[in-house]
């Protein structure tokens, strides 16, 4: 599906894809900064910049948590695109189509669910979402 999207919407630009094994696992441990994460980010980002990339698409739901470090490594001339806003717009369209959206004045709640040990997961969520204890 990803390659079909590239063919349909980006055939006139040069696309460089870069799988980033290990980043998701760091984010899920709450490790969004530090020497090990930055070394891994440099390993993935620097070759893209050296190849002439001027836009990086954060193509995973975990990567926005690394946005600050990615931006610093990529440098000022590189634009970062977070796909989260597009995913949220599509979610809103589906909710509307299915008649499941909240009334405009309704206030929602945020809850976190895990199949793991909540005592281990909650500190990570607190760090990623910048929640106070």
Query: pLDDT for 27-74, tens place per residue?
Result: 999 999 899 999 999 999 999 999 999 999 998 889 999 999 999 999
Give the pLDDT of residue 68: 94
For residue range 76-125, list pLDDT tens digits in order.
Answer: 999 999 988 888 899 999 999 999 988 777 787 888 888 988 888 888 88
CA gap 9, 19 in Å, rounded: 20
**Residue of 2 and 15 predicted with greater confidence:** 15
Burial of 132 (0-12, 13-18, 19+ CB in 10 A): exposed
- Tell me, which fold does domain 2-106 have in CATH? Rossmann fold (3.40.50)
Give the predicted TM-score (pTM) of the model. Answer: 0.79
CA gap 99, 19 in Å, rounded: 37
Cβ–Cβ < 8 Å for 40, 23: yes
Stretch 1-20: mean pLDDT: 87
Burial of 63 (0-12, 13-18, 19+ CB in 10 A): buried
Q: Which two tokens stand for residue 120?
A: 């281990």
CA gap 57, 81 in Å, rounded: 5
Give the pLDDT of residue 111: 87
- Report helix, strand or coil for 15: coil
**Residues of 76-112 as b/e, b for ≥16 C-beta within 10 angstroms?**
eebeeeeeeeeeeeeeeeeeeeeeeeeeeeeeeeeee
Give the pLDDT of residue 72: 96
How far CA 107 is from CA of 33, 102, 124, in Å, comes to 33, 8, 25
Q: Strand ranges (DSSP E) for the chain?
A: 55-58, 79-82
Give the pLDDT of residue 133: 52
């Amino acid at each position: 599906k990803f390659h079909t999207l590239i063919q349909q919407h980006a055939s006139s630009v040069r696309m460089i894809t870069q799988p980033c094994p290990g980043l998701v696992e760091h984010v899920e441990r709450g490790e969004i900064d530090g020497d090990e994460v930055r070394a891994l980010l440099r390993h993935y980002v620097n070759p893209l910049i050296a190849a002439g990339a001027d836009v990086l698409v954060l193509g995973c739901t975990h990567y926005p948590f690394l946005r600050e470090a990615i931006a610093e490594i990529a440098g000022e001339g590189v634009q970062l695109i977070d796909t989260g806003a597009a995913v949220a717009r599509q979610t809103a369209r589906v909710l509307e189509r299915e008649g499941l959206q909240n009334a405009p004045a309704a206030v929602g709640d945020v809850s976190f669910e895990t199949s793991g040990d909540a005592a281990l997961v909650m500190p990570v969520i607190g760090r990623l979402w910048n929640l106070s204890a």
